[in-house]
Copies of this chain bind each other. A is one copy, B any other.
Amino acid sequence: MSDATTTDLYEVTMTLSYLREGLTRPATFSLFVRDVPADRGFLVAAGLEPVLDYLSGFRVDADDVEVFAAALDRPSEDAEPLLGLAFTGDVRAVPEGRVVLAGEPLLEVTAPLPQAQLVESYVLNQINHQTTIASKCARCVMAADGHPVVDFSLRRTHGTEAGYQAARLGAMVGFAGTSNVSAAYAEGPAVGTMAHSYIEAFGTEEQAFRAFARTHPGPVTFLVDTYDTERGVATAGRVLKDLGLGPGCAVRLDSGDLGTLAVRSRRILDGAGLNEVRIVAGGGLDEFAVDRLVRSGAPIDRYAVGTKAGVSADAPYLDSAYKLVEYDGRPVMKLSSAKVTAPGREQVFRRPGYADIIGLLDEPPPPGGEPLLKTVMRRGRRAQSGNRRSRLDDARSRFADDLAALPDDARRIASPVAPKAVLSQPLTELADRVRHHIETDVLAGTR
């Protein structure tokens, strides 16, 4: 079966009904995040790359029809109308790496209704997850304040696909590397040295360190906290001096009070004349812990973040939605409590200081307003240039630029304040008109 079956059953039941009823005119769905989580001052748009891969290859094959029919618990012929359904629509989106705010469309899909509906689950899944993780990783980079940050999250992400994405998204927001071998192959440099098991297998740290240097000539990093951190640092220093190593080498702290241990480790290394040997620290770090260490002046040169970044532990999901905003030229919205959505095809206009305006696609941009959504797919084909790697590089530059322009309040690690986008006058008026229409005409018959 193809990726087309990675969907929710209701997409299938609805799509079959649209086809049967002839509801195949163009529809626009808008994907946005309702609120920014408590400890986030902004979000980083991400997930578009796999979404465009998915949409450009989307096609329901005969095996998929069998799977759909089985899920419906109906004979195959009942799912036959889906056979051959491909994605031939357009996608406008905020490019990966850009900073986005609550309520702003990250992506709008315009396609014949059955197509635009059937792809919902996958598109939401990817954008939601990846925007969540990129936004968390961005804060780790900010907290490190210029010190390199690397990704060690693979062992605790939600599966290996999520591990791969954590590495890619870290690279997007400025991580210096990842421990994840397959992700590093595609997305950026790999980093890593040894685990406690390595020391224990040899028995003593000295034997282990010497063996490691034999296998891996050149700069090495020694893990020093298997038995007693300060003794471990002393042993590492002795072996490094003995082998004539120093520049490019490091010791790694993986547990305990990292700030205190870093100070003591630095003292031991400097005392041995190993001023050029760096200190890498990790173990349960997130942006809050990195921020505390950096602000305390801990002599840590490089930070490894893992679990808490890789799963965005304090906010592991976003309140995102993929909402129908227009069908066959008619703007639509829902009214049920607490989830009112704006109708119509939209554009986000960014003005200096993140005074963003969410407006209608066809309204004139406000003075100084930069439109954020670009056309990234036309009639089912990517409208982007470059290859994966160059697109990731572009995303990294975009994030660096957007981060530099962020207000201080939004950049804070503790209690950040996210800028709020406002709705344009034309969009507000359209929402009022559509609401009035629903209340007076659509619901009239049900009073």
Using a CB–CB cutoff of 8 Å, the interface residues on chain A facing chain B are 1, 3, 5-14, 16-18, 20-21, 23, 27, 29, 67-68, 70-73, 113, 117, 120-122, 124-126, 128-129, 132-133, 152, 154-165, 179-182, 184-185, 189-206, 211-212, 214-216, 225-229, 231-232, 234-235, 254-257, 307-308, 311-313, 316-318, 320, 322-324, 327, 330, 332-339, 438, 442-443, 445-447
Are A226 and B336 neighbours in the complex by a CB distance under 8 Å?
yes
Closest to A215 in B: B17
Contact A159:B14 (CB < 8 A) given known A71-B184, A117-B197, A192-B8: no
Are B125 and A155 neighbours in the complex by a CB distance under 8 Å?
yes
Min C-beta distance of A227 to chain B, whole Å? 5
A-side interface mostly = helix
Q: Can you name 13 A-B pairs with beta carbons within 8 Å?
A: A6-B181, A7-B181, A7-B182, A17-B212, A17-B215, A18-B201, A73-B190, A117-B197, A204-B442, A205-B446, A254-B336, A255-B336, A255-B338
Measured between alpha carbons, how far is A117 from B202 in the docked complex, in Å? 14
Are B181 and A71 neighbours in the complex by a CB distance under 8 Å?
yes
Measured between alpha carbons, how far is A261 from B222 in the docked complex, in Å? 61
Are B160 and A122 neighbours in the complex by a CB distance under 8 Å?
yes
For the A-B complex with A9-B190, A231-B447, A316-B316 known, give 11 more contacts whose Cβ atoms are closer than 8 Å. A6-B163, A13-B216, A67-B182, A71-B184, A124-B155, A155-B320, A156-B320, A200-B332, A200-B333, A206-B446, A227-B334
